[in-house]
Structure 1
């Protein structure tokens, strides 16, 4: 089994304290952002109230202006009526004075006695005409006085109505002036609230900017620590792989030496040495992919993936093949008929024979990652089939060269990557 320590657990570096600090900072950032959002909502409401107050003040000013014009017009009209009343009073007084003078003149001249006028006159017809004339004048003067009195009464009634209307206008103006004062006070209160909110929001935004700087510093610190951790993991993993390869190579050389020793002994007719009768075990893959990685993004599986089948690793990424080409994946020596398991969730995009490799299945895992399984004796999936980690794609067989086992590749953006850097 390819195995190794859990590098992040064995390293002396740790991001845990910084992660805790980062979590606290982000919580405070979230709290500040919510507080700012709430204050901005209140600020918006207050600004809207200010706009409404200003509109109401403008409307009130328009009403006050109209009422002022009406008041001025009514005041002028009232002054005109009072002048007309005064003129009518003077005319009544003048008419009465003229009537009084005429009556007094008649009385002094004895013209008040109709019989006397008749007896004293030399011409009865003239006397009759004078009497009618005096009566006509008296009635005309009396009618004039009555008309003037009626006009004076009508003007007085109009003046009273106008005074009542003017009183109403003054009351309305007073009420509108009070409303305007209240609106101005409301606007001033809201402006003060907006000013205070602006100050608080600016203060919170300053705090938020500082916290985001703190968050960035912590994030950068954690990223730096993670880079160092990954570097340590890579170094240890490289050492472990080098040691693993060295052990495999040493085992092969020792087995080759023992085979030659046995062959030489047989050629010479000598007994085969005991040491040549056994082979040094070569490290093999003894676990295959299962459903433990189901539901995970392919990129997240690096370092925890299992290979598709169990068996001995007979061809390593980047090493030469017998026919002179280079392995772009790994070849796992395995007996025929073993189940071949897909290493991660995905969808089958190829399921057919592939020249030089026998039957092949290619699975798309998303994120520009593909896996290639070749040398299958039986293909159990078709193009378009969705598969989960651990599902069977078919069974092992042999490559076109006759090598029994499974050839496995991982490709990213179409380029092969070393599968052994993905497995544990």
Structure 2
């Protein structure tokens, strides 16, 4: 554009040197032509920006899918780790029970051996008792006692053997489950590594698109400033042309007035008739102008009324469309949350303890609460955001993967990916208090989960298009953001 402006100035001075200085109309025509070319360039650049914006939205959508998938895999890894810990504890308990049962079995075998040796040493046997010649009733009592002891010892040995068999079956099943858990952990880790690689690639694509958009926006702004300057030039030229035309008109009117004054000397006799005729014409013109003014006023009122009606109809239509759109989005989000909850419930281990909401509901928040994560406080509440607007919460800078803990007991009411916030979780603490945790790498709780103060609910990340890892944290009361630093422990 600077080259085009230089050519325009060069042509102007060349024309002046040749003794053919361009007129104002020619200057205006040249400026308008240059302005038209500039606007055409701006429109073309805007089309390119729109195309890049579409690519950016596509990349952001892919980024959302990758980050949401990584969050789900991390949550699954945490659940598998907990299940594996329970399985290992169960194996230890089974080993202790098995060792105890083996000691009991050895003890029973020893007792049985001692009993048999005592019987053999004492000659106590059914045949010996029958051939001893003793009292038959005493012999019967001895044989009955001998049978009772023998059956009791045999039953004890058999019970121990059955318990050992059951314990061996449990040990084998538990060992198989532990191997399966290890396989799932390995497989899920591989999927997580692959998804993280894809996420990094998509972030690079998004960064390139953002850089290209910033460059093109800068070009568009420069072109827009050039367009404004040309517009000012064209407007100045137009004013100069109008001023020249006005001066010519005034000169012509003065000339006519002078001629009329000279002719008036010769037309005094017709002055009375001319005045009467002039007054009649003026009255007629005045009446005509009054009628035209009234008609124009009536037409203007009708147009204004029609515009107001059209505006009200358009506003009503927009409000209805916005309400329908919002209702559809809420329904879709509710369906997605329910499907996710059902899917996770189907995979959730049976041993996972269920938490119940306290009687009387949650009591809200109190001051002096612990920080959800420790780190440098950035983006303070009420401060100006770099991208415009004001901060409604705070940003806590912390290493990626750091545990994010609930500040108080409550119920998870939202856990998903949201544009601009990445993986976000919202906890309802009762009494119209909500806490918001965003930019997370992973969400470890689901909608409907009951959490206690200090529970790990997520891990620090840089999702939603962020550059550095950290946690974006808000507290809302009755839907209005409040300063979180007034509620957290200093």
- Decide which structure has greater helix share: 2
Q: Distance in 2 between matches of 1:38 and 1:133?
A: 99
Q: Distance in 2 between matches of 1:224 and 1:28?
A: 23
Q: Please show how residues 255-274 of structure 1 align to structure 2 within 5 Å.
A: 256=266
Aligned-pair CA distance for 1:26? 1.1
Choose from 11, 31, 37 the match for 1:18: 31
Contact 2:24 2:237 in 1 (8 A): no
Q: Which residue of structure 2 lines up, in the alignment, with residue 70 of structure 1?
A: 83
Alpha carbons of structure 1 residues 86 and 67: separation in structure 2 relative to 1, 3 Å: same
Q: Which residue of structure 2 lines up, in the alignment, with residue 292 of structure 1?
A: none
Secondary structure of the residue aligned to 2:142 is helix
Aligned-pair CA distance for 1:100? 3.0
Q: Which residue of structure 2 lines up, in the alignment, with residue 362 of structure 1?
A: 289
Q: Distance in 1 between matches of 2:87 and 2:42?
A: 66
Choose from 197, 205, 224 the match for 1:185: 197
In structure 1, list runs of 5 or more residues that go unmatched. 1-8, 261-313, 332-353, 371-382, 385-424
Are 1:95 and 2:108 matched, yes or no? yes
In structure 2, list runs of 5 or more residues that go unmatched. 1-21, 300-490
Are 1:202 and 2:214 matched, yes or no? yes
Alpha carbons of structure 1 residues 204 and 363: separation in structure 2 relative to 1, 3 Å: farther
Aligned-pair CA distance for 1:203? 1.3
Q: TM-score, normalised by structure 1?
A: 0.53
Deviates more, 1:29-38 or 1:214-223: 29-38
Aligned-pair CA distance for 1:210? 1.0
Aligned-pair CA distance for 1:149? 1.1
Q: Which residue of structure 2 lines up, in the alignment, with residue 141 of structure 1?
A: 153
Q: Please show how residues 245-264 of structure 1 align to structure 2 within 5 Å.
A: 252=263, 256=266
Q: Distance in 2 between matches of 1:116 and 1:13?
A: 145
Choose from 161, 170, 178 the match for 2:173: 161
Q: Distance in 2 between matches of 1:357 and 1:96?
A: 139
Q: TM-score, normalised by structure 2?
A: 0.47
Aligned-pair CA distance for 1:72? 1.0
Are 1:227 and 2:239 matched, yes or no? yes
Q: Distance in 1 between matches of 2:250 and 2:48?
A: 50
Aligned-pair CA distance for 1:211? 0.9
Aligned-pair CA distance for 1:30? 1.9
Q: Distance in 1 between matches of 2:295 and 2:240?
A: 26
Instruction: Give the alignment's Cα RMSD to 1 decimal.
Output: 4.2
Choose from 50, 57, 60 the match for 1:37: 50
Alpha carbons of structure 1 residues 219 and 12: separation in structure 2 relative to 1, 3 Å: closer
Are 1:111 and 2:124 matched, yes or no? yes
